[in-house]
Chain A
Amino acid sequence: MSDAEIWSRHCDELIRYATVLVGPASAEDVVSTVVLRVLQRRTLSDLVDPRPYLFKGVLNEARSVARRNSHHMTAADDSVSPPDVDPEVLVAVRRLPPRQRAAVYLTYWRDLPMVETAQLMGCGVGTVKRYLHLARSHLREVLDER
């Protein structure tokens, strides 16, 4: 498979993943940085399994962005949320650290099984369980009212 085919297959889900992790303003930079880093050394088609490699790269880069910024999301994320979205839940999700947010997104929005979530995050299943537990704990105050 060529680099273009690999990119075409995964770019959309990578951008969406990055958007959830760092916000729309930085998502493209995060994904571009990860792919450029790969292309500096080899081609995408050299990767044995590009999808988990790129997902792990996006998460790592998102964590770097979070380290650089004292807040996790950019100002563009302060936009008005649609009526079906609880603003308190939205704020609580935005406050989650990147790895917890990644675990919640892959599990509760993408509906991925635990094993696949672990693979995309580059960690073990037990680690994913821990991040989910911590995330649910952080979200408890707003979600327990439901």
Chain B
Amino acid sequence: MSDEMSPEATRALRSALGHLESQAPEPPQLPVGAPLPTPRFWSKPAVVAVAFALAALVALPGLWWLRSGDDAVGTDASTTSTASVTSTAGTTTTTTVQTTSTNPAVRLPEAGPIFGETTGVVLLFDNGIDGLTALDPDHRLVARSLIEGQRPGDEPFSMIRVADKLVVGWGEPHAVDIASWEARSLGLATIFVPAVEPNRVWLIDYGDRIGAHTPRVWQVDVNTGEALGDPTEVTGGDPKFGIAGGLALQTDSGLVLWTMDGGVVRSLEAGSPAWAHDASGDVLVWCDAYCDELQLTDPSTLATERHRPPTGYDTFRSARLSPSGDYLAALVGGREEHTGAAIWLLNRRTGDVTVVADAETRVDFLAWTPASDQLFASSSSYRRDRTVIWRYDLDEEQFGAVVLPFGGAMTPIIVETSLASAYFGEHLVQPAECQAPGAQPSGRSGICTFAL
């Protein structure tokens, strides 16, 4: 379908929208010095009674769980698996489906690593405001701190790892050394996007908000902060992800591949605005607007490998290549945006696919360990009081999950434990003294650390 609508179609759509809007009730008043009226669903006696009944149902297993001495923490109760065979593009591959339960009434191990075995890594999360939440699953520690340069916003990438640096922020992106926490400004730019070249990141400057003007792009070295070349205007589309020597740009009909040397060199037609999920030196992972087919394209030859969602799912989201390039993980879900998601894992060497589904909690973020031996996933917990984290051990081929009693944990990045000691203070406080910030800016200073 063309993205242009006929005047008649536009008129019909506007009439429908106008009719919907015309049903708006009178807005409630906000008298000076007085709070807004309580939402009506809280004040209806029948609904309140139902709410009490539901609360009691929820509280009963919770009371059992608290009696066991735990603090709203759970882990997976069981994992089951089945196997089926599917045929894709003439080759036979095996799809294994596992299910996990993250029922919060199940207890976390009382001592030792929260996943039952050591992982050797620390999970760093953007806290959604201006800092990070760090989780050491092996030592059961959680820390929160401010990061210089991080800001709340809606940029496409809030925090990425490049070499031994975190790149954060918008308006003036910063590179933060993971081990020492020293931050360096990378220059004034609206946003950044990942580059496939080592130690580099792309800065994209629109002059104002994303999309407001023709973007100027340049690469910087995250170790030195040095700009590698002059800013260049890009007119072919909106930069979404780095490719070798250039960028994948989103257009209204797909992607175009742009290089610093040759400008727009190739186009990937999709018939709709396309999505670039991830890239390495030899593959770009992308899909069209519907994302019912994930495409792995070699930007130099345009050779493309295509994958469809497993049975029972309609679309892909958030695809992530492992650092080794041997695996691709993605979230799969239903066509409706709020339907549950599962984790889809492709072994690119064998073509085998593993799917892990969790009907109780939606998966939102994926992250690989630097050694590509473990995949982590987490639920969105911005301003919530718990975070679900899944872990898949590729050697054991086993998924596990934990429900942790803290929020403020978005877009995880996995780093080696040896690199991340600076994130944890020696003095432990109570979890209530180390809450996720709710205001912008948070006003937090120093590190607070608590034990699980």
B210 at the interface (CB under 8 A from A): yes
A:1-47 near B, CB below 8 Å: 2-4, 7-8, 11-12, 14-16, 18-20, 23-24, 27-29, 31-33, 35-36, 39, 41-42, 46
Complexed CA–CA distance, A98 and B15 (Å):
18
B96 to chain A, nearest CB (A): 29
A:65-120 near B, CB below 8 Å: 66-67, 76-77, 79, 81-82, 84-86, 89-90, 92-94, 97-99, 104-105, 108-109, 114-115, 118-119
Interface flags, B8-37, vs A, CB<8A=1, else 0: 111111111111110111111011100111
**Contact between chains at B13 and A139 (CB < 8 Å):** yes
Candidates B25, B32, B155, B252; contact of A24 at CB < 8 Å: B25
A46 — which chain B residues lie within 8 A by C-beta? Answer: 439
Report how many A-B pairs have Cβ atoms within 8 Å. 178
> Could you tell me how many residues of chain A have their Cβ less than 8 Å away from some Cβ of chain B?
73
B1 at the interface (CB under 8 A from A): yes
Candidates A7, A27, A129; contact of B30 at CB < 8 Å: A7
**Contact between chains at A24 and B272 (CB < 8 Å):** no
Complexed CA–CA distance, A139 and B275 (Å):
21
B289 at the interface (CB under 8 A from A): yes
**Contact between chains at B3 and A93 (CB < 8 Å):** no
A19 in contact with B21 given A3-B30, A133-B3, A133-B273 (CB within 8 Å): yes
B272 — which chain A residues lie within 8 A by C-beta? Answer: 130, 133-134, 137
Complexed CA–CA distance, A119 and B439 (Å):
19
**Contact between chains at B40 and A126 (CB < 8 Å):** no
Main SS of the interface on chain B? Answer: loop
Complexed CA–CA distance, A8 and B58 (Å):
39
A:121-146 near B, CB below 8 Å: 122-126, 129-130, 132-134, 136-137, 139-140, 142-144, 146
**Contact between chains at A86 and B16 (CB < 8 Å):** yes
Complexed CA–CA distance, A29 and B44 (Å):
12
> Could you tell me how many residues of chain B have their Cβ less than 8 Å away from some Cβ of chain A?
56
B427 at the interface (CB under 8 A from A): no
Candidates A2, A63, A126; contact of B250 at CB < 8 Å: A126
A33 — which chain B residues lie within 8 A by C-beta? Answer: 39
A112 to chain B, nearest CB (A): 13
B25 — which chain A residues lie within 8 A by C-beta? Answer: 15, 19, 24, 27-28
A63 in contact with B275 given A31-B27, A118-B211, A139-B13 (CB within 8 Å): no
The 6 closest A-B pairs by CB, nearest first: A125-B211, A146-B8, A11-B27, A7-B30, A109-B17, A19-B24
24 residue pairs A–B, Cβ–Cβ below 8 Å: A2-B32, A11-B30, A15-B25, A19-B20, A19-B24, A28-B39, A29-B39, A32-B36, A32-B38, A36-B35, A39-B35, A41-B438, A76-B23, A86-B16, A90-B20, A93-B20, A97-B338, A98-B337, A104-B13, A118-B209, A124-B211, A129-B250, A136-B5, A139-B13
Beyond A24-B25, A41-B439, list 4 extra A-B contacts (CB 8 Å): A16-B24, A115-B211, A134-B289, A143-B9
